[in-house]
Structure 1
Amino acid sequence: MTAVILATACAIVYGTADFCGGLATRRSRVLSVVTLSQIAGLALILAMLPFLPGVFSEGAIVWGLGAGVAGAAGLVLFYRALATGVMSVVAPTTAVTSAALPVLFGLASGERPEVMALAGVGLALLAVLLVSRSPAKEQRSSASSIVAALAAGAGFGGFFVLLAQAPDESGLWPLVGARLASVTMVVLVAVVTRRSLRPGEGALGIIAVAGLLDMAANVLFLLAQQHGMLSLVAVLVSLYPASTLVLARYVLGERLHAVQVAGVAFALGAVALIAVA
């Protein structure tokens, strides 16, 4: 039950971070938002190290670095897929892939959830597919954008898988390695593409909040996977788009489509099934 609570809280915080990041991109360039929010997250994790100490080890840093590279690569590929494809196809393809990969890895590595929990996993994957869809008149997407979306999902899923491989006694050190790797990658992209990282007027605050919440969610994920199976924790965490949608509905007044409402309902059902298993 502890893992379910932590993973559900993680999904809510991730979704809130994405909501804040989305607001920030209305005032600043995407690369600026990504880079500055990553730096804010790095500052938070360094500040938290004395309060949640762990054992520093080569394994903790190496697995963290690998997770950071996978996550940053996933982000770059995701934006590339969005630029060349249709969002209503790219987003759910990426989301389901990122959710399915840790589940498959967990099952392949010997995890055996109960039947009811597996039913919750299936319902959660369906929920991720539904809440990630957005209406579009044109539903065709190029083969290259689909491949990029699948690769992006693999990157996001790989982030969870690699982070979970770090020794349990590592504390927050894997996240330090992950954030160092991701910050380095996005800064290199900015330098190579000659993009300005200067935030838009009044956007720095919301960018910082997005980065702090994202890192807080990462901490919750680490704690959750230490208390439960990766195949269950990761799929619950992948329900984060549901909280983003709810915030968009009640904070911005955006309209939710029937398929997305159904996805939110399925997400709640998935949490319930996994919790009682």
Structure 2
Amino acid sequence: MGNVLALASALCFGSTHFLSALLSRRMNSTAVALLGQLGGTAAILPVTLAVPAASVDVTALGWGALSGVGTGIGITFLYRGVSTGKLSVVVPVSDVGAVALPVLVGVVLLDERPPVLSWLGIAAAAPALWLVSRASGEPGHRAEPGRSGGTATGSLAGLVAGVGFAVQFIALARADEAAGLWPLLVSRVASVLAIAPAALATRAALRPRPRLLLGTLATGTLGTLGTLLYTLATREQLLTLAVVLTALYPAIPVVLGITALRERVSARQLVGLGLAAVAIALIALSGA
């Protein structure tokens, strides 16, 4: 069940980042991040109140807050990166960081020991994540006004985003299950607070056209659903495996680009998609 939840989380994250990348080219990327997290916070509040919590302590809420800070940093720099640099640079750099650090923490600090098949799946996932995110170009790309684009900018933004997402993944997995969904609600609130200074500093326009506003709120809700599914996956699965499966989300924008935008897929991306399928199969078989 943990594998299914993690893959469903990947589907949500991939769809969210695909839609947010499109929105970030029509409005300020920091505004997309902030409004999205506000939408996600509003969506998770009634769910949190409805789910029983046996014991909500300061430690669980602290882990939730830390994950929210990671989320805020991650999406701010990810959306900033895709608005000023190449998606094919930002996404793989951020994703490698988001996978490598939690796996290291799981193995070294949490003493997790995945089965041999799972290790083979992790080994296949690493090149899959890189290849599936490599695109030949970014047609229609437009940088935000007053900011220069480029590979260097995208790489730096992707690196910082990867560290932020790694913190998000690790911290949420450490929150006590007895706290119900309160750590996730605190995480959403903390992400809003983490993004707000950047929004004020860049003077992001927080009153976009109604169509764009609804889009950002919807993507934030979808991203929060992905975070919820990931949290549930960590309660059924090792952190190491849940992170690897969730982090396969870059395959989703590629598939959506092919089907919805009729983009051409490169040979490298086909190889990456194939390796992603192998990684999923190996990890699934290890838990069978």
Instruction: Give the TM-score normalised by structure 1.
Output: 0.90
1:110 aligns with 2:102: no
| Alignment partner of 1:97 is 2:97 | yes
Measured in 2, the distance between the counterparts of 1:149 and 1:58 equals: 32
Given the alignment, which residue of 256, 263, 276 partners 2:265? 256
Alignment-derived partner of residue 43 in structure 1: 42
Deviation at 1:82, TM superposition (A): 5.5
Deviates more, 1:111-120 or 1:81-90: 81-90
Distance, in Å, in 1 between the alignment partners of 2:160 and 2:22 is 26
Q: Residue type matched to 1:123 in 2?
A: A
Letter paired with 2:225? A
Aligned partner of 1:122 in structure 2 is: 123
Amino acid at match of 2:14: G
Give runs of aligned pairs for residues 2-151 of structure 1, distance below 5 A: 2-54=1-53, 55-79=55-79, 87-108=87-108, 109-136=110-137, 141-142=151-152, 146=155, 148-151=157-160
- Separation of aligned partners in 1, 2:157 and 2:221: 28
CA distance in 1, matches of 2:49, 2:170: 26
Cα offsets for 1:126-185 (capped at 9, x unmatched):
111111222259xx944x764553332121111100111111212111111111111112
Q: Residues of 1 paired with 2:34 and 2:58: CA distance?
A: 26
Distance 1:19 1:141, change over 3 A: closer
The residue type equivalent to 1:20 in the other structure is: L
TM-score, structure 2 as length reference: 0.87
Partner in structure 2 of residue 175 of structure 1: 184
Query: Are residues 1:244 and 2:243 paired?
Result: no
Deviation at 1:83, TM superposition (A): 7.0
Q: In the alignment, is the contact (CA less than 8 A) between 1:94 and 1:153 conserved in 2?
A: yes
1:227 aligns with 2:239: no
Query: 1:177-225 CA deviation, whole Å, 9 max, x = no partner?
Result: 1111111122221122222111235212222221111111111011000
Match of 2:146 in 1: none
1:157 aligns with 2:157: no
Cα drift, residue 16 of structure 1: 1.5
Instruction: Note the C-alpha offset of 1:20.
Output: 2.5
Q: Deviation of residue 100 (structure 1)?
A: 1.2
SS in 2 for 1:240: coil
Maintained 8 Å contact 1:93/1:150: yes
Distance 1:208 1:88 in 2: 25
The residue type paired with residue 197 of structure 2 is L
Q: Which amino acid aligns with 1:13?
A: C
Distance 2:187 2:45 in 1: 12
In the alignment, which residue of structure 1 is the partner of 2:197? 188
Give the Cα–Cα distance (whole angstroms) in 2 for the partners of residues 93 and 182 of structure 1.
21
Work out the CA distance in 2 between the residues paired with 1:75 and 1:204: 17
What's the counterpart of residue 276 of structure 1? 285
SS in 2 for 1:246: helix
What is the total number of aligned residue pairs between the two structures? Answer: 273
Give structure 2 stretches of 5+ with no counterpart.
Answer: 139-149
Q: Is the 8 A contact 1:33 1:199 kept in 2?
A: no
CA distance, structure 1, for counterparts of residue 11 and residue 157 of structure 2: 26
Q: Which amino acid aligns with 1:93?
A: V
Structure 1 residue 233: Cα displacement: 0.4
Task: Find the counterpart in structure 1 of residue 221 from structure 2.
Answer: 212
- Other structure's SS at 1:202 match: helix
Cα pair 2:129 2:248 within 8 Å, conserved: yes
Amino acid at match of 1:193: T
State the Cα deviation string for residues 15-61 of structure 1 (Å, max 9, x = none).
11222223333443222221111111001110101332323221121
Whether the 8 Å CA contact 1:67–1:160 is kept in 2: the answer is yes
One-letter code aligned to 2:19: C
Which runs of 5 or more structure 1 residues have no equivalent in the other structure? none
